[in-house]
Amino acid sequence: MGRLSTDLCGIEIDSPIIPASGTFGYGYEYAELYDINILGTFSFKGTTKEPRFGNPTPRIAETPSGMLNAVGLQNPGVDRVISEELPRLSKVFGKPVMANVSGFSVDEYVETCAKLDSQEQVGWLEVNISCPNVHGGGMSFGTSADSAAEVTREVKKVTSKPVIMKLSPNVTDIAAIARACEEAGADGVSLINTLMGMRLDIRRRKPILANRTGGLSGPAVFPVALRMVWDVYKAVSIPVVGMGGVSSAEDVIEMMLAGAAAVEIGSANLTDPYICRKITEDLPELMDSLGIENIKDIIGGAHNG
Strand-pairing partners, residue 197, are 214
The values of phi and psi at residue 198, to 5°, are -155, 165
Q: Burial code of 79-118, b = ≥16 C-beta within 10 A, e = fewer?
A: eebbeebbeebeeebebbbbbbbbbbeeebbbbbbebbbe
Q: Where are the alpha helices (DSSP H) in the chain?
A: 28-31, 78-80, 86-90, 106-117, 139-142, 145-157, 174-183, 222-235, 249-258, 268-271, 275-290
**What is the pLDDT averaged over residues 205-217?**
94
Query: What is the C-alpha to C-alpha distance for residues 93 and 88, in angstroms, rounded to an integer?
Result: 9
Q: For residue 68, give the 3-state DSSP assignment.
A: strand
Q: Which helix (H) or strand (E) holds 101?
A: strand 97-101
Per-residue pLDDT tens for 271-299?
999 999 999 999 999 999 999 999 999 99
Query: What is the C-alpha to C-alpha distance for residues 76 and 80, in angstroms, rounded to an integer?
Result: 6
Omega before residue 279 within 30° of 0, cis: no
* Axis crossing angle, helix 249-258 with helix 222-235, rounded to the nearest 10: 30
Annotation: CATH topology of 6-304: TIM Barrel (3.20.20)
Per-residue pLDDT tens for 16-66?
999 999 999 999 999 999 999 999 999 999 999 999 988 889 999 999 999
Q: For residue 99, give the 3-state DSSP assignment.
A: strand
What per-residue confidence (pLDDT) applies to 305? 66
Query: What is the C-alpha to C-alpha distance for residues 119 and 157, in angstroms, rounded to an integer?
Result: 17
Query: What is the C-alpha to C-alpha distance for residues 145 and 96, in angstroms, rounded to an integer?
Result: 30
What per-residue confidence (pLDDT) applies to 54? 82
Q: Does 78 have pLDDT greater than 70?
A: yes
Q: How big is the chain, counted in residues?
A: 305
Spot the catalytic one: 9, 113, 131, 276.
131
Per-residue pLDDT tens for 123-149?
999 999 965 444 444 445 768 899 999
> What global pTM score does this model have?
0.95
Strand-pairing partners, residue 5, are none
Q: Where are the domains of the chain?
A: 6-304
Q: Which amino acid is at 8?
A: L
Are 67 and 61 spatial neighbours (Cβ–Cβ below 8 Å)? Answer: yes
181 carries an active-site annotation: no
